[in-house]
């Protein structure tokens, strides 16, 4: 039995490595997990119970591919407040933002088509893209977002169909794309007739400073597709995200959603809608922000105390991750597998699995939202000390 | 913005036609809807509430791509009882059986690869397959299932990667594949090294006679993938199905599932598991069977009273659909759009949209589970009378 060629891609192994690094006795900075103590479990229980009791007669029936209308209205209003003008008809509910990545790739990419991703980028996006066998072009991430000079060089020489970016608190580097680059990126997309996929799962999770408008705000030609998600602001197991795009792109995406899984769960959509009717999501997000800011600050402070001088971290303004920069040539994957995990019981995601093909190896993504404050304290200390040891002249000379 | 070639396929329009035919004042025999009065709404309410209250601490967190282990155990036990030996590790929870079709196609089909489907077949499967741009080969459905002589001719002359079939109460014809054909089909798949996708959403819904073993029962080489679904035996809006396959096929399918939507909803899986812990699913299915049998009998009886002699229906032993056979050359789609819907407010799915490319036009799928008994009575009568009128010498001569 011969499998399709798409199965020979490698990104899935990156995802596997990521889950393997989440064994119970390990302090995991590898996952992308929210803090489970923040899930509004009781409120969601009431919301679902209310849907079962008071919801309409179609609660358990097939519904529509686009998704539950009142929830689409609420999401359109939220996005409009955030700079993305949208009506309910412009919103498609998806099986997490992940499905939005999959459907966008399915919409646009023939095998071999040019796809620009940030290097490093979200490994799950690579797993989705792989299925469509694109030709990857990787553009480095700078402190203020994607390197647009590098991007322009690609656009000038290659036919690119799609640019995938996470402008806010990028996964994995935690960086924010500057205002100037946002405008310039959309202008480049216009000039070279490229679609931009703007993945915005962390957009509500800013801990310091002020949010910039989303890329979609600058989009005058209907070529930015925006993805949102309840996973980081409510709970991942709801598996609900949303997508907004121009009618020209949204209509065929909806048709593809029908083929992929018919529709999202009406029960899930009505339950979440009921939660939003009876609770203040913004107040809940404020609670999340306060918690994650404290965790982020502790991780930054602890790492700065224990990391050797040759290693640097950033101090992200929001999101789930900070980035650890290691000395040139230092292999973070090898360090994790052969020293950090076995000797210190700490894990992270090494840079090497977050770039298509072979990227730089001297970096790592550290998650600060999933672990407890105590785990952050001891794990960051252990990580710093393990790097001190690994980078000491004695160990290096062996 | 240039879309991928897969978007130029046509099956989505068939799905659209199907939904358009479900307007509120229409008696719809077009949908594939369960009877909403059978949904165990209160029991599901209790089950979800119990999960929120008593479920484990991971209820709302990311979980695993394979799905909730206790539910996989229960499904493995159900399948084993039904002739499919499976352990929990052999089961993947999917976003409805629809996602199982999508993932199987993604696993196996490069653009242009040979795919055999039944003619007519489930239009949603075509929508899923279209995304992978297969070369379709359509094999007619006979009263006892797929025409294996026609299949063998295809297998002898074309390289086929995958055969898609619904052996039990086929969508749309309601036919059951005979025991002899089941054995012979698996033997052909072995001989020509083809994977079989066995779609089994109606398998539990037999109203008369005795079930035959699934194709997977006869599979000694790990080349049959079986799909099950809660949509028809519990509720469609749960959007949960399952897939079982040999480890060789299941492992890469799980990796593809990760890229498609990370995982199914842990909340949904635990809620359904809790329902199964506290309720007798088989007793519930028996209730469904009794109701659907009565509906099916009424539709058969009414149609037989009113259909002109030149039209025939079958009397299926289970499932959701019966098949209306119309005189050669009679265009069911045209009849529905220009006479049945506007004049009688009744809809069905015409044969033409259920075959890749252009198939026979003189047939229609009639659903008897969604409408009420009163709707079946009046709708079947109206359909019979409309056909009498359409086929009367006077109208035909216009």
Q: Give pLDDT tens digits for B17-49.
A: 555 556 778 999 999 999 999 999 999 999 999
pLDDT of the residue at B94: 98
Query: Mean pLDDT throughout B164-191?
Result: 98
CB contact under 8 A, A96 and B259: no
Q: Which of A65-74, B289-298, B385-394 has the lowest mean pLDDT?
A: B385-394
Identify the pLDDT of residue A19: 55
CA distances from A93 to A75, A204, B6, B22, B306 (A): 10, 18, 22, 21, 44
Higher local confidence (pLDDT), B397 or A250: A250
Which residues on chain A are in Cβ contact (under 8 Å) with B263?
Answer: 239
Secondary structure class of A34 (helix, strand, coil): coil
Query: Which of B4, B39, B52 is the closest to A108 by Cβ?
Result: B4
Which residues from B are below 8 Å from A131, CB to CB? 106, 256, 259-260
Q: pLDDT digits over B302-348, tens only? A: 999 999 999 999 999 999 999 999 999 999 999 999 999 999 999 99
Q: Among A74-78, A187-191, B16-20, B166-170, whose mean pLDDT is lowest?
A: B16-20
The strand pair at A349-350 and B27-28 is best described as: unpaired
Phi, psi of A207 (to 5 degrees): -105, -30
The DSSP code sequence of B162-196 is EEEE--SS-TTT-----HHHHHHHHHHHHHHT-EE
pLDDT at A397 over 90: no
Do A258 and B64 count as a contact with CB atoms less than 8 A apart?
no
Q: Do B259 and A99 touch (CB under 8 A)?
A: no
pLDDT at B25: 87
**Average pLDDT value for residue range A25-33:** 94
pLDDT, position B358: 74
Torsion of CA B106, B107, B112, B116, to 10 degrees: -100
Angle (deg, nearest 10), helices B179-192 and B148-157: 0
Q: Please report which residue ranges of chain B form alpha helices under DSSP H.
A: 11-20, 41-54, 69-81, 96-108, 123-130, 148-157, 179-192, 247-261, 266-278, 281-306, 332-335, 341-344, 373-391, 393-397
The confidence score (pLDDT) of residue A217 equals: 98
Option in B98, B130, B193 nearest A262 (CB): B98
Considering chain B, tell me which residue range(s) the CATH 3.90.1150.10 domain(s) occupy: 5-39+283-397
Residue from the list B3, B238, B264 with its beta carbon closest to the beta carbon of A107: B3
Contact B194, B155 (CB under 8 A): yes
**pLDDT higher than 80, residue A350:** yes
Mean pLDDT within B230-257:
97
User: What's residue B395's pLDDT?
Assistant: 64
The closest alpha carbon to A348, from A362, A361, A336, belongs to: A336
DSSP B22: T
pLDDT-derived band of residue A4, with 50, 70 and 90 as boundaries?
A: confident
Q: A364 - beta bridge partners?
A: A324, A350
* pLDDT, average across residues B158-167: 98
Q: Which of B96, B109, B265 sits opposite A239 (nearest CB)?
A: B265
Residues 6+ apart with CB under 8 A from B121: B138, B164, B166, B170, B171, B172, B354, B355
Residues of chain A contacting B107 with CB distance shorter than 8 Å:
3-4, 7
The per-residue pLDDT of chain B, averaged, comes to 94
So what's the ipTM on this one? Answer: 0.95
Nearest by CB to residue B237, choosing from A60, A113, A132, is A60
**Shortest CA distance from B248: residue in chain A:** A1
Q: Give strand pairing partners of B44.
A: none
Residue B384 backbone dihedrals phi, psi, to 5 degrees: -60, -45
Residue A9 reports pLDDT greater than 60: no
Region B58-66 average pLDDT: 95
For residue B3, give how far its alpha carbon lies from the nearest alpha carbon of chain A (Å): 5
d(CA B220, CA B187): 10
* pLDDT recorded at residue A80: 98
Q: Mind telling me how many Å the CA of A132 is from chain B's nearest CA?
A: 9
DSSP 8-state class, residue B201 = T
Contact B239 A261 (CB under 8 A): yes
Reduced to 3 states, what is the DSSP secondary structure of residue A52?
A: helix
Residue B388, min C-alpha distance to chain A (Å): 33
Query: Hey, are the CB atoms on B108 and A45 less than 8 Å from each other?
Result: no
Whether the ω angle into residue A309 lies within 30 degrees of 0, i.e. cis, is no
Q: What chain A residue is nearest to B43 in terms of C-alpha separation? A: A52
CB contact under 8 A, B239 and A262: yes
DSSP state of B206: B
Where along chain A do the CATH 3.40.640.10 domains lie? 41-278
Least confident stretch, B18-27, B172-181, B256-265: B18-27
With CA atoms as reference, the chain A residue closest to B60 would be: A237
B14/B26 Cα distance (integer angstroms):
18
Collect all residues with Cβ–Cβ distance below 8 Å to A222 and sequence separation of at least 6. Answer: A245, A246, A247, A248, A249
Whole-number pLDDT of residue B9? 57
Contacts of A44 in chain B (CB under 8 A): 52, 60
Nearest to A252 among B3, B113, B132 (CB): B3
Contact B259, A12 (CB under 8 A): yes
Q: Is it true that domain B5-39+283-397 has CATH number 3.90.1150.10?
A: yes
Average pLDDT (B99-127) is 97
Searching chain A, which residue's CA lies closest to the CA of residue B41?
A: A52
Q: CA end-to-end span of chain B, whole Å?
A: 47
Of the partner residues B41, B59, B249, the one whose CB lies closest to the CB of residue A60: B41
pLDDT band at A5 (very low <50, low <70, confident <90, very high): confident
CB-based contact B102 A31, cutoff 8 Å: no
* A-chain residue closest to B3, CA distance: A108
For residue A188, give both structure tokens.
Answer: 């480049």
Q: How confident is the model at residue B15 (pLDDT cuts 50, 70, 90)?
A: low
CA–CA min distance A288, chain B (Å): 15
CATH architecture group of domain A41-278: 3-Layer(aba) Sandwich (3.40)
Question: From CA A185, how far away is CA A183, in angstroms rounded?
Answer: 6
* Residue B398 pLDDT exceeds 90: no
Q: Is the pLDDT of residue A388 over 80?
A: yes
Share of chain A above pLDDT 90, in %: 91
Residues in chain A with CB shorter than 8 Å from the CB of B7 are 107, 252, 255-256
Q: Do A259 and B128 touch (CB under 8 A)?
A: yes
Two tokens, residue B334:
């045209």
Per CB-CB distance under 8 Å, the chain B contacts of A241 are none
Mean pLDDT taken over chain A: 94
Give the pLDDT confidence of A120-144 residue by residue, as tens digits: 999 999 999 999 999 999 999 999 9
Compute the distance between CA of residue A107 and CA of residue A125 in angstroms, rounded to an integer. Answer: 15
As a whole number of angstroms, the distance between CA A69 and CA B147 comes to: 44
Whole-angstrom distance, CA of residue A133 vs CA of residue A142: 27
Question: What are the Cα distances from residue B273, in Å, to B132, B149, B266, B288?
Answer: 33, 43, 10, 20
Q: What value does the mean pLDDT take over residues B84-94?
A: 98
Which positions in chain B touch A99 (Cβ < 8 Å)?
260-261
Can you read off the two tokens belonging to residue B325? 């056979």
The predicted-structure confidence for B354-378, as pLDDT tens digits, reads as follows 999 878 899 999 999 999 999 999 9
């Amino acid at each position: 039995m011969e499998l399709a060629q798409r199965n020979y891609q490698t990104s899935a192994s990156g995802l596997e490595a990521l889950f393997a690094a989440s064994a119970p006795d390990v302090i995991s900075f590898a996952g992308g997990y929210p803090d489970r103590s923040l899930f509004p479990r009781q409120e969601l229980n009431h919301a679902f119970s209310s849907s079962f009791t008071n919801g309409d007669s179609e609660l358990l029936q097939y519904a529509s591919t686009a998704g539950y209308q009142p929830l689409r209205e609420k999401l359109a209003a939220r996005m409009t407040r955030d700079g993305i003008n949208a009506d309910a008809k412009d919103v498609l509910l998806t099986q997490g933002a992940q499905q939005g990545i999959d459907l966008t790739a399915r919409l646009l990419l023939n095998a071999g088509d040019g796809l620009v991703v940030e290097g490093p980028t979200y490994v799950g996006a690579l797993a989705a893209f792989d299925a469509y066998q694109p030709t990857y072009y990787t553009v480095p991430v700078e402190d203020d977002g994607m390197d647009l000079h590098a991007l322009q060089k690609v656009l000038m020489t290659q036919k690119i169909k799609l640019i995938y970016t996470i402008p806010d608190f990028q996964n994995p580097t935690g960086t924010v794309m500057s205002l100037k680059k946002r405008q310039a990126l959309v202008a480049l997309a216009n000039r070279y007739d490229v679609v931009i996929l703007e993945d915005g799962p962390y957009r509500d999770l800013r801990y310091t400073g002020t949010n910039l408008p989303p890329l979609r705000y600058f989009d005058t030609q209907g070529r930015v597709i925006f993805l949102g998600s309840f996973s980081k602001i409510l709970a991942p197991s709801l598996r609900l995200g949303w997508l907004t795009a121009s009618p020209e792109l949204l209509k065929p995406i909806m048709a593809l959603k029908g083929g992929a899984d018919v529709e999202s769960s009406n029960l899930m959509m009505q339950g979440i809608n009921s939660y939003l009717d009876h609770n203040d999501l913004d107040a809940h997000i404020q609670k999340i922000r306060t918690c994650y800011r404290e965790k982020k600050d502790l991780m930054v402070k602890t790492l700065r105390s224990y990391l050797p001088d040759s290693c640097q971290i950033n101090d992200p303004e929001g999101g789930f991750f900070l980035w650890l920069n290691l000395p040139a040539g230092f292999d973070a994957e090898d360090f994790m597998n052969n020293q950090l995990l076995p000797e210190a019981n700490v894990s992270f995601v090494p840079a090497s699995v977050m770039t298509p093909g072979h990227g730089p190896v001297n970096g790592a993504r550290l998650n600060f939202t999933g672990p407890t404050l105590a785990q952050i304290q001891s794990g960051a200390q252990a990580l710093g000390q393990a790097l001190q040891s690994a980078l000491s002249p004695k160990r290096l000379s062996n």
